[in-house]
Amino acid sequence: MAPLPSHPRAVIFDLDGTLVDAYAAIHESIGVVLEAFGRPPITRDETRRMVGHGLEVLVAKAVGEENVAEGVRLFRERYERVGLESTRLLPGAELVTRRLFEKGIRLAIASNKPARFTRPLLEAFGLASRFGFVAGPDDGFPPKPAPHMVFMALATLSVPAREAVFVGDMPIDVATARAAQLSIIALPSGSATRIELEACSPDAIVENLEELLPLLLAS
């Protein structure tokens, strides 16, 4: 664990489970894939525990590596229909991103969710203009925990790693931040429990998004 920067100039967020609850849409979409391959349905909680490592990994877990290409096609087809209407901002997401943006802190998204899904969500929620960088593996980056998306975010925002903070909800986000030499704040609002996050030793854990503000806007 390391001290958080006293006056961070940039905050890089994960998306699913961190800023938005997209599990209903993901669950419905992976359900279509399971049905297509004659697999039994899974619960929404089981879906929640499977996400975070990228769409191809999710589909491989559900229906096997040999079915990834067709499974991804089916998932995307359904998700493009239900993603916007079924996804919700997590409590505090609008307030926290607005306050950080108003304070001049640069914001970015580095997510294993395909950016083709992320960008329309941000537009629909009215948050897109707050983010100076948004990326996913479909932009040509290796998925997290590879740090490449984070490196490009820092370069685009012109902020060094020592003056940035990563915020995420999974152990993979902690690993990503460590690989990029960023401080990391974790919150148990997504796919991992507080106990699982504590085991990864992030630099701080908060229970909800609004608890970020005293840490990130400390005088």
| 114 phi, psi to nearest 5 deg | -55, 135
Cis upstream peptide for 188 (omega within 30°): no
Tokens 């429990």 belong to residue:
193
Could you tell me the two tokens for 216?
């990130």
| Residue 139 is among the residues annotated as catalytic for this protein | no
Q: Find residue 133's DSSP bridge partners.
A: 108
- As a whole number of Å, the end-to-end CA separation of the chain is 22
CB 201 within 8 A of CB 88: no
Query: Out of 14, 169, 173, 203, which one is annotated catalytic?
Result: 14
Tokens of 143: 């998925």
Catalytic residue numbers read: 14
